[in-house]
Amino acid sequence: RRALVESEGTLFVFVVKDHRVEKRPVVPGIMQNRWIEIRSGVSIGEAVVTDRAYSLEDGLEVEVDEEGVTNS
């Protein structure tokens, strides 16, 4: 759930692609405790930001290291 950002009734996640974050609308599925199934909007293998996603903006340049994503 930490990866999800809600805006105007739509759920989004941020995906890291080419050192930038891309805001993607997603369709949620089953919700159980702190887990939510994402039915569409991201593909297997894509890197989704799971911490502090609410502080990101579409197109923001980021760096990925062993500890995760940091703003450039």
Give, for all 72 residues of the chain, the pLDDT tens digit.
788 999 899 999 999 999 999 999 999 999 898 888 999 999 999 999 988 888 899 999 988 876 665 555
Nearest-angstrom CA–CA distance, 65 and 37: 26
Backbone angles phi, psi at 53, to 5 degrees: -60, -30
Residue 33's pLDDT is: 86
Q: Which one, of 24, 59, 57, lies nearest residue 43 by Cα? A: 24
The two beta strands, 47-48 and 68-71, are: unpaired
Q: Which structure tokens are listed for 69?
A: 């994503």
Q: Where are the domains of the chain?
A: 5-55
Q: Which structure tokens are listed for 61?
A: 């340049």
